[in-house]
Amino acid sequence: MQHIWASSGDSVKHKRLAIWCLGLILLVCLAGCRSSDQGSAQYLFREAVVETVEVEFIGVGPLIVNAIVKGTVPEDCAKVDEIRQEFDEATRSFSLTIAIRRPVEETCVQRETPFEATIPLAVDEVPDGLYTVVANGVTATFRLERFVEAPPE
């Protein structure tokens, strides 16, 4: 029986091939172990349909002012993703942008689904007066009066 031994050149080639194969296997394993919350999930983003905006006042000490926003999202798989608030001092208006998202690759039923969001307005640093809240184009106004003097007796 004849034994054939690989030369040192063949040994280096085999080691390189083995390292390359192990690297490829590791890469495939890592790609398959990605979390479903990250990575390839693709979403469509747009603004929610707002139907009403109401303003509620809570408390007397540190006054809390909330915007109660009600509306719909167009598909049953869409969710409210982000609510941004900006204040324009010149116009005394709070601008609320309510964004929704839905998975691109998911088949969604076209069914309006209601949502309600309670958004605390940043009124701590603003003076008393008349203000406007605009949520995705729907407007409400309110008067902020924290320091009402008691009538003279």
DSSP-assigned states of every residue in 21-82: HHHHHHHHHHHHT--TTSTT--EEEEE-EEEEEEEEEE-SSS-EEEEEEEEEESSTT-EEEE
Residue 51 lies in a domain: yes
Q: Is the pTM of this model over 0.75?
A: no
Give the model's confidence band at 1: pLDDT under 50 very low, under 70 low, under 90 confident, else very high. Answer: very low
47 and 36, same structural domain?
A: no
Are 77 and 102 within 8 A, CB to CB? yes
Burial of 146 (0-12, 13-18, 19+ CB in 10 A): middle
Residue 153 lies in a domain: no
Are 41 and 127 within 8 A, CB to CB? no
On average, the pLDDT of the chain sits at: 79
Q: What is the pLDDT of residues 8-64, one digit of tens each?
A: 445 545 455 445 444 444 444 343 333 334 445 799 999 999 999 999 999 877 889
18 and 48, same structural domain?
A: no
15 and 65, same structural domain?
A: no
Structure tokens at 114: 């209601």
Q: Does residue 127 surpass a pLDDT of 60?
A: yes
In 3D space, the residue among 55, 88, 54 whose CA is nearest the CA of residue 71 turns out to be 54
